[in-house]
C-alpha cells in the first residue's frame, strides 16, 4: 500500500499538462469524488492498525500535494493561455512578414504608361485570343504574309480565324473601331509567338502599343512624341534616330534607336559596336488601316508605335537572359526590391 502512495506521489510531481483538458483529466483522476485520493481514504479503514499512523500521514501529504499541484497548474494555464494547444490561431501570419516585389516587367509597363499618361494618352486593352481581322487583316497584312503562318502564330482550336494575338497592334484596331478621333491611347499587354525559347526569345512576352489619331498629325509629331518618351525613360540627354523600316500597318515605317554610348565592353556588345540601340517600331498609320477601322484617311492621320517590355527591361536592369522574367525565381525577383 505504501509503495502505491509513493508511486502516485511521483506521478503527480512529474505531471506536465498542455491544455485545459489535461488539467480536468488530472482532477478527475485524483481529486474528484470517485478519484484515486477519495478511494484511498475509503481504503484507509481497512489498513491494519499498526500501519494506520504512517499510512494516514502519507495519505494526507499526497492529498495536499495533489491539491497544490492542481492550483499551480491552473495558474500556469491561465497565464499562458496562448500557448495552449487549443488556443493556437493558425491564421496569424508569421512574423516578420516579408514584403513582395513588383515584377520588373510590371515596373517597366507602369513607367512607360505613366510617361504617356502625362501627355494625355489613356490605357486601352484587348483580348489575348484574337480573330484574324483584328490581328492581321485590318492591319493590312496580305493573305500570304508569313506572320500568319503556323510557324509564328498559335492557333486556338481548329478554326483558323482564332489565334493568340501576336502583337498588341490588334488593340489599335479595336480602339479605332469603337472611338472617334482624336485618339490617344497606349495598350500594354501579353502577346504570343511560336518561337523556340532561348535567352533572347520566348513564346510569351509583353508589348506596349501606342496610337495617336487626329487631324493634321505629321511624322514630326511622332518624332517629337517619341523623343519626349526617350528622354523621360532613358534620361534627359538621350539622343534618338529613326531608321526607315517596314510594317504592313504603317507607311512610312521606322525603327527608333537611342544612343547608348560606347564606353564599356558591354556597350560594344549590346550595340554591336555602333553605340545605337533599337528600342521600338513606329510609323504613320497606313490609310488602308484607317479605312478598315472606319476612319476617313482624307480627314484624319496618325502615328503608331510598339515596343517590347522585356527587351526594354533587359536594357534598363541589365538582365542577360529573357527566361528569367518567366521563371519567378525568388533570387531574381528579390533583386528588384529597391527599384520601385
Applying CB under 6 A, which residues contact ligand DAH? 167, 169, 209, 247, 250, 281-283, 304-306
Nearest residue (CB) to ligand DAH, 23 versus 308: 308
Nearest residue (CB) to ligand DAH, 30 versus 233: 233
Nearest residue (CB) to ligand DAH, 104 versus 302: 302
Nearest residue (CB) to ligand DAH, 177 versus 267: 177
Q: Is 216 left (phi over 0), alpha (psi -120 to 50) or beta?
A: left
Least separation in angstroms between residue 208's CB and ligand DAH is 9
Nearest residue (CB) to ligand DAH, 256 versus 324: 256
β-bridge partners, 209: 187, 306
Least separation in angstroms between residue 327's CB and ligand DAH is 24
Least separation in angstroms between residue 152's CB and ligand DAH is 11
Least separation in angstroms between residue 284's CB and ligand DAH is 9
Least separation in angstroms between residue 92's CB and ligand DAH is 48
Nearest residue (CB) to ligand DAH, 111 versus 278: 278
Nearest residue (CB) to ligand DAH, 247 versus 300: 247
| Three-state secondary structure call for residue 54 | helix
Least separation in angstroms between residue 177's CB and ligand DAH is 16
Least separation in angstroms between residue 119's CB and ligand DAH is 17
Answer yes or no: are the C-beta atoms of 124 and 186 closer than 8 Å: yes
Helix axes 49-79, 36-44, angle to 10 degrees: 170
The answer, yes or no, to whether the previous bond of 96 is cis (omega within 30 of 0) is: yes
Q: Give the separation between CA 186 and CA 211, rounded to whole angstroms.
A: 6
- Name which of 82, 101, 86 is nearest 24 in CA terms: 86
Answer yes or no: are the C-beta atoms of 306 and 186 closer than 8 Å: no
Q: Give the separation between CA 214 and CA 210, rounded to whole angstroms.
A: 14
Helix (H) or strand (E) holding 210: strand 204-214
Least separation in angstroms between residue 291's CB and ligand DAH is 17
Whose cell is 497606349? That residue is: 186
Nearest residue (CB) to ligand DAH, 192 versus 276: 192
How far lies 168's CA from each of 58, 125, 154, 283, 333, in Å?
90, 9, 15, 15, 26
Looking at beta carbons, which residue is closest to ligand DAH? 306
Answer yes or no: are the C-beta atoms of 188 and 206 closer than 8 Å: yes
Amino acid at each position: 500500500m505504501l509503495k502505491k502512495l509513493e508511486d502516485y506521489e511521483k506521478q503527480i510531481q512529474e505531471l506536465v499538462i498542455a491544455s485545459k483538458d489535461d488539467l480536468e483529466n488530472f482532477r478527475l483522476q485524483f481529486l474528484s469524488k470517485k478519484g484515486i485520493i477519495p478511494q484511498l481514504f475509503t481504503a484507509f479503514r481497512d489498513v491494519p492498525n499498526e500501519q494506520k499512523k504512517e499510512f494516514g500521514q502519507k495519505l494526507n501529504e499526497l492529498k495536499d500535494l495533489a491539491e497544490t499541484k492542481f492550483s499551480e497548474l491552473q495558474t500556469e494555464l491561465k497565464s499562458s493561455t496562448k500557448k495552449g494547444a487549443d488556443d493556437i490561431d493558425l491564421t496569424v501570419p508569421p512574423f516578420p512578414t516579408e514584403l513582395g516585389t513588383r515584377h520588373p516587367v510590371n515596373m517597366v509597363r507602369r513607367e512607360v504608361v505613366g510617361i504617356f499618361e502625362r501627355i494625355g494618352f489613356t490605357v486601352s486593352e484587348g483580348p489575348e485570343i484574337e480573330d484574324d481581322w483584328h490581328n492581321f487583316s485590318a492591319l493590312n497584312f496580305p493573305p500570304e504574309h508569313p506572320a500568319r503562318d503556323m510557324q509564328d502564330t498559335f492557333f486556338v482550336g481548329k478554326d483558323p480565324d482564332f489565334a493568340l494575338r501576336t502583337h498588341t497592334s490588334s488593340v489599335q484596331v479595336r480602339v479605332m473601331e469603337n472611338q472617334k478621333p482624336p485618339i490617344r491611347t497606349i495598350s500594354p499587354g501579353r502577346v504570343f509567338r511560336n518561337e523556340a525559347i532561348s535567352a533572347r526569345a520566348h513564346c510569351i512576352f509583353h508589348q506596349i502599343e501606342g496610337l495617336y489619331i487626329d487631324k493634321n498629325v505629321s511624322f514630326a509629331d511622332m518624332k517629337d512624341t517619341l523623343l519626349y518618351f526617350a528622354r523621360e525613360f532613358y534620361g534627359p540627354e538621350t539622343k534618338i534616330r529613326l531608321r526607315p523600316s517596314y510594317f504592313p500597318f504603317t507607311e512610312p515605317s521606322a525603327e527608333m534607336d537611342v544612343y547608348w554610348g560606347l564606353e564599356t565592353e558591354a556597350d560594344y556588345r549590346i550595340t554591336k559596336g555602333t553605340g545605337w540601340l533599337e528600342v521600338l517600331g513606329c510609323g504613320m498609320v497606313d490609310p488602308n488601316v484607317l479605312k478598315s477601322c472606319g476612319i476617313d484617311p482624307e480627314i484624319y492621320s496618325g502615328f503608331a508605335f510598339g515596343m517590347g517590355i522585356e527587351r526594354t527591361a533587359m536594357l534598363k536592369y541589365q538582365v542577360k537572359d529573357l527566361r528569367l522574367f518567366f521563371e519567378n525565381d525568388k533570387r531574381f525577383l528579390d533583386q528588384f526590391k529597391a527599384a520601385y
